């Protein structure tokens, strides 16, 4: 039996009961019942684990460090609604200890000679470029099956996700490990998905939320009188992302060539080695010993590992330009984003490219 939470609305309580049936009702005949069952079960377990943040803060027996982080989180949560004009609801005013480092593990897959993601479609979120699992072992099992089909595969752990307002999303224990500012950025990012979301356009949605996260964090720091970030880490991140995006472009051009498979594999491997070489050269000449991306760059490389970069960052400069165009007014910015989202997908991409001047 699900523990009742007095701060949750009637819709949330009803959906907790109906959610598994809703998922199964909308499944197409080719969908895997076992896969959707684990989605429903995982979401319900998360709902059961929720408790009001105020309840945790009022309990002196709870971990003092947890209470300190949650106190700061609620300041960021209030800032999100009052200053960033993100949804003002019970999301992130609840807490859930899930007992694992990530809430879900996403499995990305592409053909061997393509950067086109294997899409998966869901009743609520539409089509996305990954498949999520609440169990790491289940994600590994799916990855193994995809590899047997000759696909390039990657698994990525996710600290948080948005149910797009269908439920009151909690702060998860998986969101707590990287400090108060990182927690604030996750709240801004996930609430942005609640603010606006376009079905079947992962690049648009994630780039929009990433921009809100980045600009929201800058304003959050300023509101507390903190010095602006010195920009070194952000610059390194942007330079690293650009290296990956350049590699994606070269690979896309390569895969368009009519080459034999063996030759294609050799040239594909050469592009990944070029990425590693360019990264090390940049790191050693400009980054003063910053090796934060070494583990990623030294791991086995394939197409699927590059997918999240295009998904989360492709249109961030376009949204930044749109925000400036709207005079830094969040409400006008959101209205302009909604107009973009209403366009047919081809026109939407043309408009986004125009914003970046490309």
48-57 pLDDT, tens per residue?
Answer: 999 999 999 9
Give this prediction's pTM: 0.84
In 3D space, the residue among 125, 99, 106 whose CA is nearest the CA of residue 45 turns out to be: 99
Two structure tokens written together for 151: 């696909």
CA 248 to chain centroid, in Å, comes to: 19
Q: Which domain range does residue 131 map to? A: 10-75+86-193
| pLDDT score of 48 | 92
| Position 80 in a domain | no
| Position 202 in a domain | no
236 and 189 within one domain: no
In 3D space, the residue among 192, 298, 312 whose CA is nearest the CA of residue 248 turns out to be: 312
Q: What is the pLDDT of residues 73-106, one digit of tens each?
A: 999 999 999 999 999 999 999 999 999 999 999 9
pLDDT of 18 over the 60 cut: no
| pLDDT score of 310 | 67
CB 112 within 8 A of CB 104: no
Residue 105's φ and ψ, nearest 5 degrees, are -120, 120
Total domains present in the chain = 2
pLDDT of 3 over the 50 cut: no
144 and 239 within one domain: no
165 and 293 within one domain: no
pLDDT of 293 over the 90 cut: yes
| Position 59 in a domain | yes
> How big is the chain by its Cα radius of gyration, in Å?
21
249 and 163 within one domain: no
**What's the rounded mean pLDDT across residues 268-294?**
95
| Position 205 in a domain | no
**What's the rounded mean pLDDT across residues 210-236?**
87
CB 333 within 8 A of CB 192: no
**Which of 167, 193, 219 delimits the end of a domain?**
193
**What's the rounded mean pLDDT across residues 218-235?**
84
pLDDT of 245 over the 50 cut: yes
Helix (H) or strand (E) holding 47, with range, is helix 33-49
189 and 43 within one domain: yes
Average pLDDT, the chain: 89
């Amino acid at each position: 039996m699900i523990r009742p939470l007095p701060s949750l609305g009637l819709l949330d309580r009803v959906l907790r009961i109906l959610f598994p049936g809703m998922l199964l009702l909308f499944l197409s005949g080719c969908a895997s019942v076992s896969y959707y069952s684990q989605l429903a079960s995982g979401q319900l377990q998360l709902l059961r684990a929720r408790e009001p943040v105020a309840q945790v803060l009022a309990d002196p027996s709870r971990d003092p460090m947890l209470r300190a982080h949650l106190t700061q989180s609620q300041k960021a949560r209030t800032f999100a609604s009052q200053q960033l004009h993100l949804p003002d609801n019970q999301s992130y005013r609840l807490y859930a200890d899930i007992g694992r480092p990530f809430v879900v593990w996403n499995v990305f897959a592409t053909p061997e000679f393509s950067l086109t993601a294997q899409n998966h479609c869901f009743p609520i979120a539409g089509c996305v470029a990954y498949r999520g699992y609440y169990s790491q072992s289940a994600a590994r099992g799916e990855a193994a099956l995809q590899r047997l089909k000759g696909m390039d595969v990657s698994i990525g752990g996710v600290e948080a996700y948005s149910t797009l307002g269908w439920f009151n999303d909690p702060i998860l224990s998986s969101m707590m490990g990287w400090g108060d500012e990182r927690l604030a950025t996750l709240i801004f990012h996930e609430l942005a998905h609640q603010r606006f979301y376009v079905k079947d356009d992962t690049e648009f949605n994630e780039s929009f939320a990433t921009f809100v996260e980045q600009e929201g964090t800058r304003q959050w720091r300023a509101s507390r009188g903190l010095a602006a970030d010195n920009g070194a880490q952000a610059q390194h991140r942007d330079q690293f992302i650009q290296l990956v995006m350049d590699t994606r472009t070269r690979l896309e051009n390569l895969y368009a060539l009519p080459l034999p498979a063996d030759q294609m594999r050799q040239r594909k491997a050469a592009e990944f080695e070029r990425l590693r070489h360019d990264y090390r050269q940049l790191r050693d000449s400009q980054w003063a010993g910053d090796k934060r991306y070494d583990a990623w760059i030294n791991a086995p490389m394939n197409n699927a590992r590059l997918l999240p970069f295009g998904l989360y960052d492709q249109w961030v400069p376009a949204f930044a330009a749109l925000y400036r165009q709207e005079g830094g007014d969040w409400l006008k910015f959101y209205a302009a984003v909604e107009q973009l989202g209403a366009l047919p997908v081809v026109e939407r991409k043309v408009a986004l490219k125009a914003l970046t001047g490309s």
